[in-house]
Amino acid sequence: MLTKQAILDALRPVQDPEVHKSIVELGMVRNVEIDGDHAKIEVVLTIAGCPLRNKIDADVRAALGTVEGLKSFDLTLGTMTDEERAKFREVLRGGQPEQATPPLLDPNTKTQFIAVASGKGGVGKSTVTANLAVALVRMGYRVGIIDADIYGFSIPGIFGIRDQKPTLIDNLLLPVVAEGVKVISMHFFVPDNRPVIWRGPMLGKMMRNFFAEVHWGDLDIMLLDMPPGTGDMALDVHQMLPKSKELIVTTPQFNATEVAARVGTMALQTNHEILGVIENMSFFEAGGQKHYIFGKGGGERLALELKTDVLVQIPIGAANETGDGIYDADTPQGEAYAKLAKTIGRKVLDQAMTEPYTQA
Ligand SMILES: Nc1ncnc2c1ncn2[C@@H]1O[C@H](COP(=O)(O)OP(=O)(O)OP(=O)(O)O)[C@@H](O)[C@H]1O
């Protein structure tokens, strides 16, 4: 005999495509009525005009098709009431009350934080952050990026995110997912790319909101794209995330490494472990020959000064035809990022020691 339980059991594996949890657990199946071998099912979405409505509709229909004894059904898709949305948010928070410390700022969080910093602007810090994140995802890690470069946010552009915005469920934001990476950036909150003029305390608040009001789900690694130099933001992040580790990006030029050294020294003074140096735009390879267009040895000099290693040298090269800044896995840059991701995965997640990179 057809039962309500059989229908709920069939719907349990259907997930909300944004938060990747069961629609039954999230309270999205509002009502199931059985009448002989016919059923009426009401599924509710968090917001009217939910962009993933069609996907949820198709998944629910496919799941209902598997229920034994169900000959026909009426499926309606409605919108949640305020109470239903409150319950939805509670499930997302894992049953924690709204005021609790955001899961990511909990001292026992399993997520590893890595701040990607540079001394000068334009050395490729954001490109490195985005490509490292993608390489980590390619290896199976769950990765998020907070674009903390509040004035010069460029992460969405590198991912080719144009019109997409985070979904807002009351006061809870769902990050935009690009190439499997969860992304939050000031870019999403600034109309028409207007310049941001917030200062000190407002910036800290903004960063806190990025942790507290965004549903990140379970993450292995959170990368923070820091503004260049040693500003308020770097201090805020160091205070907010005492266990965060640091990657320093430089080019091989001497003046780039000199400023980067100050950033590294600040990390050391605030007891933040430096994972290593990434030398970007190290050389240009053509006809089997390496051309050191920006000089040679800057990464090594910086690593020596900061008593750390050069983890990788990334060659110069255009990203891809689509105009964004993510390198395909089979390019020399993509391969360099895969190597870096492997080292980072081992260093921060497996806690194993790795051998330093041997210079090209
Ligand atoms: N390995 C590379 N080869 C060629 N171009 C690169 C490479 N890495 C980065 N670039 C380019 O260099 C420019 C600066 O990169 P990016 O915006 O990532 O730097 P940044 O250090 O984050 O700068 P800022 O802090 O000023 O935002 C971009 O146009 C980017 O596409």
pLDDT in tens, the chain (360 residues): 899 999 999 999 999 888 888 999 999 999 999 999 999 999 999 876 666 788 999 999 999 999 999 999 999 999 999 888 888 888 887 777 666 677 788 878 889 999 998 888 889 999 999 999 999 999 999 999 999 877 778 899 999 998 888 887 777 788 999 999 999 998 887 766 665 555 555 666 777 888 888 888 889 999 999 887 766 667 777 777 878 899 999 999 877 677 777 777 877 777 788 999 999 999 999 888 999 999 998 999 999 988 899 999 999 998 766 667 999 999 999 999 999 999 999 988 875 334 344 444
**Among 116, 123, 127, which is best to mutate for testing ligand 1, by the most ligand atoms less than 8 A from CB?**
127
pLDDT value of position 215? 85
Q: Kindly give the number of the ligand 1 atom that is closest to the alpha carbon of 129.
A: 18
What ipTM does this complex have? 0.97
pLDDT value of position 193? 61
The reply to whether ligand 1 has any atom less than 6 angstroms from the CB of 118 is yes
Annotated binding site for ATP: 119-126
pLDDT value of position 352? 34
Q: Kindly give the number of the ligand 1 atom that is closest to the alpha carbon of 127.
A: 18
DSSP designation for 104: G
The reply to whether ligand 1 has any atom less than 6 angstroms from the CB of 17 is no
pLDDT value of position 51? 67
Tell me the pTM: 0.81
Q: Kindly give the number of the ligand 1 atom that is closest to the alpha carbon of 280.
A: 1
**CATH numeric code, 4-92:** 3.30.300.130
What whole-number distance in Å separates Cα of residue 117 and Cα of residue 267?
A: 10
Distance of CA 315 to the CA centre of its chain: 24
The reply to whether ligand 1 has any atom less than 6 angstroms from the CB of 250 is no
128 CA to centre of ligand 1 in angstroms: 8
Q: Kindly give the number of the ligand 1 atom that is closest to the alpha carbon of 318.
A: 4
Cβ-contact 143, 112 below 8 angstroms: no
CA angle 194, 198, 203 (to 5 degrees): 120
3-state secondary structure of 97: coil
Phi/psi zone of residue 95: left (φ > 0), alpha (ψ -120 to 50 degrees), beta?
A: left
The reply to whether ligand 1 has any atom less than 6 angstroms from the CB of 127 is yes
Residue extent(s) of CATH 3.40.50.300 domains in the chain: 104-349
3-state secondary structure of 106: coil
Homologous superfamily of the 104-349 domain (CATH): P-loop containing nucleotide triphosphate hydrolases (3.40.50.300)
pLDDT value of position 311? 97
Cα→Cα distances 77→34, 65, 80, 221, 241, Å: 17, 17, 10, 36, 42
Cβ-contact 183, 161 below 8 angstroms: yes
What whole-number distance in Å separates Cα of residue 224 and Cα of residue 227?
A: 9
Residue extent(s) of CATH 3.30.300.130 domains in the chain: 4-92
